Structure 1
Amino acid sequence: MSLDTAWAIDWVRRTAATIDEHRAELITLDREIGDGDHGENLDRGFRAVVVALDDADLETPGAVFKLVATKLISTVGGAAGPLFGTAYLKAAQAAGDATELDADTLVAVLTAARDGVVSRGKAEVGDKTMIDAWTPAVDAAAAAAAAGETPERVLAAAADAAAGGAESTDALVARKGRASYLGDRAVGHRDPGAQSSAYVLRAAVDAA
Structure 2
Amino acid sequence: MDASAFRAWIAEAARLVIDNTDHLTHLDAAIGDADHGVNMRRGFRAAVALLDETVPATPAAVLDAVGRTLISKIGGASGPLYGTAFRQAAKALGEEPAVPAERLGAALHAALAGVQRLGAAKEGDKTMVDALAAAVSAYQAVVSSGGGLAGATRAAADAAERGLQATVAMQARKGRASYLGPRTIGHEDPGAASAVLIMRALATTAGKEVT
Provide the residue aligned with 2:98 in structure 1: 100
Q: Distance in 2 between matches of 1:195 and 1:52?
A: 24
Partner of residue 48, structure 1? 46
**In the TM superposition, what whole-angstrom CA distance separates every residue of 1:146-190 from its partner, at most 9, and x where no partner exists?**
100012211111111111101110110111111111111111100
Partner of 2:113: 115
Q: Determine which of 60, 63, 81 is the counterpart of 1:62.
A: 60
Correspondence for 2:37? 39
> How many angstroms does 1:57 deviate by?
2.7
Matching residue within 79, 84, 87 for 2:85: 87
Q: Which runs of 4+ in 1 moved over 3 A?
A: none
Which deviates further from its counterpart, 152-161 or 81-90? 152-161
Matched residue, 1:147: 145
Checking the alignment, whether the CA contact within 8 Å between 1:44 and 1:76 is kept in structure 2 is yes
Aligned residue for 1:201? 199
How far apart are the structure 1 equivalents of 2:4 and 2:71? 23
Letter in 2 for 1:103: A
What secondary structure does 2:54 align onto? coil
| 1:22 matched to 2:35 | no
Which residue number corresponds to residue 190 of structure 2? Answer: 192
- Residue 60 of structure 1, CA deviation: 1.1
The code of the aligned residue for 2:49 comes to V
Paired with 1:198 and 1:57, the residues of 2 have a C-alpha distance of: 26
Deviations 1:6-29 (A, max 9, x none): 110000101111000000000010
Q: Distance in 2 between matches of 1:65 and 1:153?
A: 22
Match of 1:6 in 2: 4
- Which residue of 115, 130, 133 maps to 1:132? 130
Query: What residue identity is the alignment partner of 2:106?
Result: A
- State the Cα distance separating 1:192 from its structure 2 match: 0.2
Q: Is the 8 A contact 1:5 1:58 kept in 2?
A: yes
Q: Whole-Å Cα distance in 2 between the matches of residues 75 and 22 of structure 1?
A: 18
Q: TM-score, normalised by structure 1?
A: 0.97
Segments of structure 1 that go 5 or more residues without pairing to the other structure are: none
- Equivalent in 162, 165, 172 of residue 164 of structure 1: 162
Letter in structure 1 aligned against 2:118: R
Partner SS state of residue 176, structure 1: coil
Match of 1:75, as an amino acid? K
Aligned to 1:176: 174
Count how many residue pairs are aligned between Structure 1 and Structure 2: 206
Partners of 1:161 and 1:186 lie apart in 2 by: 22
* CA–CA distance in structure 2, aligned partners of residues 16 and 92 of structure 1: 18
Q: Distance in 2 between matches of 1:31 and 1:151?
A: 36
Q: Which residue matches 2:209? A: none
- CA distance in structure 2 between the partners assigned to 1:36 and 1:125 by the alignment: 23
Tell me how large the CA RMSD over aligned residues is: 0.8
| 3-state SS of paired residue (2:75) | coil
